[in-house]
Structure 1
């Protein structure tokens, strides 16, 4: 029998937060609403709400914020606390995985194994590293086009080899990290005509956290996610990409890298 080490966060007299609650939070952020996120995780709305209320009690503040309706519709987005809770859980899960693997080498025979869903966290030079879920995969036998949903309003196409497709175990419904270098993302004030292998992701210019002198601009694409890209010139940055204005991020599918966020059960 294998004994699995599992990470759980808890406080006195409060429900514990484990892997399933973190996945619920990620699903709500990805789909943009509690009801859709709950459905994706096979939960009722009531059960999801109770789980969220328990997490808010544990961390002392809301993990989700309600977004009013409008041109892009209403729904729920992660608060800064919600994003930090997800990040902290995955970091701790990765550390637990390393510790248990070391334990297995130095104390063999006791049967303790690393979490089967332990996060694979990496540092990367890509400014854009966004969580998503694969929607469809089309392949001609040599190259595959993988469509990943980042938010209810944003999908990204990646072109990968079929070898990569099989090596990573990519399939519809699998969670991945979408990575694109910001220098390869061009911002446009109007959408470009679609063609094979091109991404054109719509969004709204977000408040710029890194000051006005940065050569890159953040685009709000929904679900609390942002794409960073280049406006081309300083003049375009100042006059065409003011906060709150619509914009489009344009980049090649071949420039998108897909990474596995965690090891899933094959069962």
Structure 2
């Protein structure tokens, strides 16, 4: 009786072999291809599409961008922008008591005239942050920070670029040989802004190496994070996936023209 039952069961299951074996083969090919990174570029392109077509967000009034564009250079008549114009603009911005000012401009070498005034601004404005470049293997390509700026107000400006030339990730912090663990400019500005609301930067709970603001833990990118397969994360201990705002005017923006900032804020 048992043999007859088993024989019938085998007959009923026999057609499934024709479906199961090809299915397992296709599944194996898909898993193997993904492990090998064959689909990474496609997955990242799909991510780009999702970000592009996500719901539009309103303009964030908390952030003002001052752009040094071609019109700015023409109005001043030279480039790099002399230190005196930077010092004057920073002074005008400071009068309106912003929580943080980020100077995303390399200034390791003085650009006269006005270097003494800019150095004074670096020393005296405790909400002013500058940048350096720390992650290049070739030390000759690194850029030092402004010499008058305290180390706790210097964030690095390095950014990871994917193989297709797109930037989808951002550095939050990295370990350096010369100066220990360093934070990026973006993180320092966010920390300075949030600390006024009694929100402090701390280590993650689920991932102790990740970063956290109160209950918000920023997921840290690993080599096999999301669509990435064995991605080289360099020596950065903390990277995050960027969420680009879907708004052509996400932030208020003005041009760094001669006297433009003074006219807007006075």
Structure (1/2) with the larger helix percentage: 2
If asked which structure has higher relative contact order (CA below 8 Å, sep 6+), I would say 2
TM bin (shorter chain): under 0.3
Structure whose CA Rg is larger = 2
**TM-score under structure 1 length normalisation:** 0.21
**TM-score under structure 2 length normalisation:** 0.21
Structure (1/2) with the larger strand percentage: 1
